[in-house]
Structure 1
Amino acid sequence: MASPAGTTARHGDICVGLMSGTSADAIDAAVVGITGAGATARLELLGFGTMPLPPEVRRELFLVFDQAERAVERLCSLNVVLGELFADAARTACRQAGVPLAQVFVIGSHGQTVWHQPERDSTVPISTPSTLQIGEPAVIAERTGVPVMANFRAADIAAGGQGAPLVPYFDWVTLRHPERSRAVQNIGGIANVTYLPAGGDIEDVRAFDTGPGNALIDGVVTLLTGGTATFDADGRLAAQGSIDEGLLARLLADPYLNRPPPKTTGRERYGLPLCRRLLEETGLPEGALADPAAPFSLRQRALDLVATVTAFTARSIAEVYRRWLPPIDEVIVSGGGSRNPALLSMLRAALDPVPVVTLEAYGIDSKAKEAMAFALPAHDGLLGLPTNVPGTTGARRQVILGTLTPPTGIVPRSQGKEGQV
């Protein structure tokens, strides 16, 4: 695992972060140079790529999400198949960045979440807080020859936390400010916020899932278009619709929004079953936007539903800020939702007069953020540093996140570092 002369001098330890989010549409891979560690870490994005999941793999994943027939058998195979795809994404990103795999210190793979249950389910006889991500790290290590840190959420849950959110560690390292209190809002499938108080230490950081992000928008668009579109590109559909304020009020009565942090949620709450109920409630058939012969009034009601669930994401974020966060000087938005102009406009209106900017304003590619956010705890965890934030997850203490899968059974050391797991 030794690096060629000059590599670490320029970029520190070269790490790869891999991520597939709630939308389960692609694998993001970031090649990151990391100098220092913990609070002093400095990150440089050396390369980034997105590899769409093959349609047949995505279909199988959604059958597992819906607990279809033979779900456990499907899950078992998907674990290995996704391991191969994550390995491909890592190799491709390194090749495109001009970084040989022999130079890579560690790969941090979040995997694909298939179930996240932060609390006991009283309807299940044997139930406990738990989480499950797939994308077999042994396959990634075997195909790349690089040590892999994965299964990041389990240690936090073992320490009494909810196993999420995990990105606040990255937010605190890269975006804390001595004089400005910031809300770092990620809008992926699920939306989550990290509150960084001005001049605060990591013990002062708070974070939680605010509620739906793109999951409801994507799900409604998928159903209304009969699968010909899986997201609202550039917010064009929402921009053509009008918000149904009555339906929006019912959505904003969601008990999750009134629960105090720490809290996490997922597709189990804001997935396709809820999308189907919304279509039923509004009298819309699946494929309403795919039928060119559909009446104008039907098409307009479909566009109104897209606009309404988009407004639900925006206003639910603003609502939980008002309920659960101290005053904020600035909101920094990342994730797929930051590239939806309709959603961003609604969010700015809901949060006015607080300024809302995208992550790019601070020199970080929002598309790469979540993948970068798993390169960092892989790097620091391999050096023996705790990387959860108990104030955000509810864990009893700080712990090292991730389990190590070394391809040769030997834990590498970065040049000049003596840290051990």
Structure 2
Amino acid sequence: MSIPERWQRLWRSTGRRVVGLMSGTSLDGIDAALVYLEGSGRNLHLSLEAFIHRPFPEALRTLLLRNSLPETSSVRELALLNARLAQLYAEAVEAVLEQAGRSREMLDLVGVHGQTVHHIPEPTECAGAAVTTTLQIGDPSVLANLLGVPVVGDFRQADMALGGQGAPLVPYFDYVYFTHPTETRGLLNIGGIANLTVLPADARPEDVRAFDTGPGNMLIDALAQRHFGAPYDPDGRYAAQGRPDESLLAELLYDPYFLKPPPKSTGREYFGEAFLAAFLEKAEALGVTDPHDQIATLTALTAASVYQAYARYVREIHPFDVLIVSGGGVHNRTLMALLERYFSPIPVRSVSDYGLDPDAKEACCFAVLAHELLNGVPTNLPSVTGARRPTLLGKLCLPA
């Protein structure tokens, strides 16, 4: 088969086997999901064939963290990481194919989010003009040529070119997978950052609302590393041994980000080391010095900021029938218990109750976004990002 015929078949195909790759702001590693996709929009059918998580080597994690901060980033290191991450993504694709017992020849497409190192969603002056932008590294063209498989990456820039925030992008997946004819659903993903999708009953794309509520696991993970030498709080056990300080929590909830109405998005540049340092300074001033009380307070901040966002910006128009949670935060029992308390009597459930691995959801999302690009379907939701109109997301990179 000639190369043009191969690409024509890829476009014409109604079903595709796709690997979705996600590495998030928590910097814990790469999620890879192998899915079979057929159809489009709310007629999309998804079958998850395999899922793996590959942790980042500590040396790489340190480099990524350093190069996510403007004061310590290096152009040279960013260039090196751009290629090194593509190598690691290729290894993750091979590993998930092996897990499924599939050969590379059976793979049609890869969708890769890339690693966000900086996100500037608000207009910022640059050489005499205001721009918005975002940077995800892990070059999709390198990945395509390492694998010999077409790759779609760099999903956010097209939306930002049209005045959008470029985030969140998971709401399209929420729309096609979770929309219910009679239930209004909240979809909460708790990664490094927490984002909330509002799905009215029998929603159309323009009915969907979503935004980043604030920190998810990011601050909890950083404090667990600082106090306990652990990359995260396992099952929320450190927080369970402490008590949130209500005065400190109330002060934190007055942060300008929490008070800003949607659309909005955020990342490590806002809820990173500087925010943690300010938190520790406030905690010291208020006498909150016990490490368990501090991590309990930050855990409560994640839950309370989600509920505060719902109460301020969602509840009056679209009261939830259920809140469905995914991402690493679903394993934090203390955090989940707090969400249940805040949202009561609204039930709080895991996406596993709906037939989806909570850890695989974001990787599945980027498989879907890549699949829909080849279907010619716009996957940004202007009602979510603030873009002027729908557009196709992602750059298609073809190997020789």
- Is TM > 0.5 for Structure 1 vs Structure 2? yes
Count of paired positions:
386
- The amino acid of 2:237's aligned partner reads R
Matched, 1:129 2:121: no
1:273 is aligned to 274
2:11 is aligned to none
Deviation at 1:65, TM superposition (A): 1.6
Deviation at 1:352, TM superposition (A): 0.9
1:359 is aligned to 351
Instruction: Judge which range, 99-108 or 366-375, deviates more.
Output: 99-108
Distance 2:129 2:173 in 1: 34
- Would the alpha carbon gap of residues 14 and 123 (structure 1) be closer, same or farther in structure 2, given more than 3 Å must change? closer
* Aligned partner (choices 190, 215, 218) of residue 187 of structure 1: 190
1:347 is aligned to 339
2:120 is aligned to 117
Matched, 1:309 2:298: yes
Deviations 1:393-416 (CA, angstroms, capped at 9, x unpaired)? 0111111100010002xxxxxxxx
1:379 is aligned to 371
- Structure 2 gaps of 5+ residues are 7-13
- Would the alpha carbon gap of residues 356 and 391 (structure 1) be closer, same or farther in structure 2, given more than 3 Å must change? same
1:164 is aligned to 167
TM-score normalised by length of structure 2: 0.93
1:51 is aligned to 54
CA RMSD of aligned residues (A): 1.9
- The amino acid of 1:229's aligned partner reads A
Deviations 1:259-299 (CA, angstroms, capped at 9, x unpaired)? 11111111111112211222233339xxxxxxxxxxxx99x
* Aligned partner (choices 400, 403, 417) of residue 392 of structure 2: 400
- Would the alpha carbon gap of residues 123 and 395 (structure 1) be closer, same or farther in structure 2, given more than 3 Å must change? closer
Question: Within 5 Å, which residues of 2 pair with 1:86-235?
Answer: 86-121=89-124, 127-225=130-228, 228-235=229-236
1:370 is aligned to 362
Deviations 1:84-135 (CA, angstroms, capped at 9, x unpaired)? 0011111111111112111111100000000011002369976521000000
1:415 is aligned to none
Deviation at 1:238, TM superposition (A): 0.2
- The amino acid of 1:205's aligned partner reads V
- The amino acid of 1:333's aligned partner reads V
- Would the alpha carbon gap of residues 353 and 377 (structure 1) be closer, same or farther in structure 2, given more than 3 Å must change? same
Deviation at 1:193, TM superposition (A): 0.7
- The amino acid of 1:396's aligned partner reads R
- The amino acid of 2:252's aligned partner reads L
1:289 is aligned to none
- The amino acid of 1:220's aligned partner reads L
Distance 1:79 1:165 in 2: 22
Q: Does structure 2 conserve the Cα–Cα contact (< 8 Å) formed by 1:87 and 1:139? A: no
The secondary structure found in structure 1 opposite 2:165 is: coil
- Structure 1 gaps of 5+ residues are 4-10, 285-296, 409-421
Distance 1:123 1:143 in 2: 35
The secondary structure found in structure 2 opposite 1:33 is: strand
- The amino acid of 2:50's aligned partner reads G
Q: Does structure 2 conserve the Cα–Cα contact (< 8 Å) formed by 1:25 and 1:53? A: yes
Deviation at 1:139, TM superposition (A): 1.7
TM-score normalised by length of structure 1: 0.88
Q: Does structure 2 conserve the Cα–Cα contact (< 8 Å) formed by 1:113 and 1:133? A: yes
Deviation at 1:39, TM superposition (A): 2.3
